[in-house]
Chains A and B, each alone.
Chain A
Amino acid sequence: MADLSRSKRWSFNRIAIHATLLVACAVYLVPLIVMLLTSFKTPDDVRTGNLLTLPVDWTLIGWIKAWSTVHEYFWNSFMITVPAVIISTFIGALNGYALSKWSFKGSNVLFSMLLFGCFIPFQVILLPMSFTLGKLGLANTTTGLVLVHVIYGLAFTTLFFRNYYVGIPDALIKAARLDGAGFFTIFWKILLPLSTPIVMVSLIWQFTQVWNDFLFGVVFASGSAQPITVALNNLVNTSTGAKEYNVDMAAAMIAALPTLLVYIFAGKYFVRGLTSGVVKG
């Protein structure tokens, strides 16, 4: 037994697998490390030092300056993301419920057409959308941007919820109907309490999508209403004066932090929700 396990532990395949994983890990982590290290350096340190060396003096001036430049946009992003995520998740859940449990004539066709939304590139809808927003009087407003994100996200959230609800037995709905519950009562009392994993999936997915969005932000918002992704781009692309890499890196970290935190705290639900959907759906 001992020999077997030793040979297993040190077999060529094992070493190859671990080596590959370590390389992959490094590929993903080194840029992050460089960003973090740079953000804590002084501008002088950045200019003279090597990319991968530790800061000579650990300092927060980069972070402080970055925050003072982008914090307004940071909150803009929150004002856009939070309502967009909540509304698109809620409507997606309702859509998925109706499509899976109250199928009507043409509901499958409707669902397939809705799925097209998942495959439409952002660029395609820019012009028609700005035209529509203009007609609605929502051009260059946060509300308009929220609306765009809700509409764009619906295809995905509907898909998530529809596939999750397909796996929930119809008998449950029948039982509730005979118990006297209507469309919305069944949704609130029976299905929504069962939906935690898929709600998490939808929230994480939508949060990442909306928070990281650059294109819609740069097109449909302007000036002080812009999200942080756009502000970050503006900051980094400023051509006046010396390049402050420490500030750029700190600002990039600030922009990335919320999605990172969402993954750290809700990541297990994400995996669980996705796999449960796969097995049942």
Chain B
Amino acid sequence: MAALELKNVRKTYGNAAQEALKGINISIDTGQFLILVGPSGCGKSTLMNAIAGLEDISSGAIILGGEDVTTVEPKDRDIAMVFQSYALYPTMTVRENIAFGLKIRKTPADQIAAEVDRVAKLLQIEHLLERKPSQLSGGQQQRVAMGRALARRPKLYLFDEPLSNLDAKLRVEMRTEIKLMHQRLKTTTVYVTHDQIEAMTLGDRVAVMKDGEVQQFGTPQEIYNNPANLFVASFIGSPPMNFIPVALDQESGRSVVRLQGQGERIAISLPMLQTALADGREAILGIRPEQICIRRGQIGDLPLVSARVQVVEPTGPDTLVYVEVNGVQVCCRLAPVDTPEIGSIVALELDVERLVLFEPASGARIA
């Protein structure tokens, strides 16, 4: 049974001309970790607030654990939420913050105490229980906010960009911790973020959103390897996928694209593209930086594109090399030992099996 099911959820604010949510359909199972990711203004926070019941939806249904909660008050939905600003009650101690929800629900005092202890131990905040939120660091506040959510053992956990107020180092630490926690507790979670790395690392399922629509819903690997359209391909991945303008042609019964760097145009055959589609039309060839490598010396009759190295950016674990192909800059991610010199001509080998093609106007996937 689906733990959370969104059925054609639509939302229009007041007299706004455009819908904030244009019919969202998502379903996740118990214990799954769903990521809502997209640029700001894509409707991901609106959707989360709708799931929490903090905002009404215009039409559609929200089904939580088999029960339609579309018109149910937030407090009766059995949902806990971790906010970007943590939203800890400033006048209460950490203990009171964690216990607040239980107290409101009239849980017996000894149970509350036991639950606070369990959560505090889990999050290693036992020594902070008597402090006020203002006496805590950002990371500690973050833990308390998670503790407050965990204490109630709700059906669904919502995380609203919980890491975006932390510094870079702490963010990576907390990311791992959230993942660890989820693996241990198997809590059904919806997590909103604009950070594609968080989306890739944390999610079981990722919904990439833009302009109030889900562009693609799938596992992180599906979304990374098999993007549904140009937007998803450009949004997920860092450095982003390279997009090279090409024409789809045929050559001796195979579909090909021609790439030109420094020197002559080279025909690259596209095994995944039906020849019927290769009618000379314009297309955008997508290739990820790690799917390009540099060949030293000719091997067999593999066609190689030669190009001049323009910029070299060593990042440590790997080196980003920028070359020009078909008039656009193309990024290649190479092992540091492979680093070519600036200005030198290199032979590029493309991983043709993993190339993707998009239509230039609509951004839709061709193959």
Chain A residues with a Cβ under 8 A of chain B: 169, 171-172, 174-182, 185, 189-190, 193-194
Q: Is B131 interfacial (CB 8 A cutoff)?
A: no
Specify which of A174, A179, A194 is in contact with B54 (CB 8 Å cutoff). A174
Contact between A178 and B104, CB atoms less than 8 A apart: no
Contact between B79 and A179, CB atoms less than 8 A apart: no
Contact between B52 and A174, CB atoms less than 8 A apart: yes
Query: Which B residues are CB-close (under 8 A) to A185?
Result: 104
Query: Which B residues are CB-close (under 8 A) to A190?
Result: 89, 91
- Residue on A with the closest CB to B52? A178
Number of interface residues of B (CB under 8 A): 23
Q: Which candidate, B80-88, B243-251, B337-345, is the interface stretch facing chain A?
A: B80-88
The 4 closest A-B pairs by CB, nearest first: A179-B101, A171-B87, A193-B91, A175-B87
Nearest chain B CB to A190 CB, angstrom units:
6
Query: Which A residues are CB-close (under 8 A) to B52?
Result: 174, 178
Docked Cα-Cα span, A177 to B80, in Å, equals 10
Query: Which B residues are CB-close (under 8 A) to A181?
Result: 75, 100, 104
Chain B residues with a Cβ under 8 A of chain A: 49, 52, 54, 74-75, 77, 79-81, 83-87, 89-91, 100-101, 104-105, 148, 152
Specify which of B54, B85, B105, B152 is in contact with A169 (CB 8 Å cutoff). B85
Docked Cα-Cα span, A189 to B97, in Å, equals 11
Nearest chain A CB to B147 CB, angstrom units:
13
Contact between B74 and A177, CB atoms less than 8 A apart: yes
Query: Which A residues are CB-close (under 8 A) to B75?
Result: 177-182
Query: Which B residues are CB-close (under 8 A) to A179?
Result: 75, 80, 100-101, 104, 148, 152
- Residue on A with the closest CB to B74? A177
Query: Which B residues are CB-close (under 8 A) to A171?
Result: 83-87
Query: Which A residues are CB-close (under 8 A) to B104?
Result: 179-181, 185
Specify which of A172, A178, A182 is in contact with B79 (CB 8 Å cutoff). A178
Contact between B81 and A180, CB atoms less than 8 A apart: no
Contact between A180 and B101, CB atoms less than 8 A apart: yes
- Residue on A with the closest CB to B76? A180
Contact between A175 and B91, CB atoms less than 8 A apart: no
User: Could you jot down 28 A-B contacts, CB within 8 Å?
Assistant: A171-B85, A172-B90, A174-B49, A174-B54, A174-B74, A174-B81, A175-B89, A176-B89, A177-B74, A177-B75, A178-B75, A178-B81, A179-B75, A179-B80, A179-B101, A179-B104, A179-B148, A179-B152, A180-B75, A180-B104, A181-B75, A181-B104, A182-B75, A189-B89, A189-B100, A190-B89, A190-B91, A194-B90
Docked Cα-Cα span, A169 to B83, in Å, equals 11
Docked Cα-Cα span, A193 to B100, in Å, equals 15
Nearest chain B CB to A43 CB, angstrom units:
56
Residues A177 and B100 in contact in the complex (CB < 8 Å), given A169-B87, A194-B91? no
- Residue on A with the closest CB to B158? A178
Docked Cα-Cα span, A177 to B79, in Å, equals 10
Contact between B91 and A174, CB atoms less than 8 A apart: no
Nearest chain A CB to B155 CB, angstrom units:
12
Can you name 19 extra interface pairs (CB under 8 A) apart from A175-B87, A180-B75? A171-B83, A172-B87, A174-B54, A174-B81, A174-B83, A177-B75, A178-B54, A178-B75, A178-B79, A178-B81, A179-B101, A179-B148, A180-B105, A181-B75, A181-B104, A190-B89, A193-B91, A194-B90, A194-B91
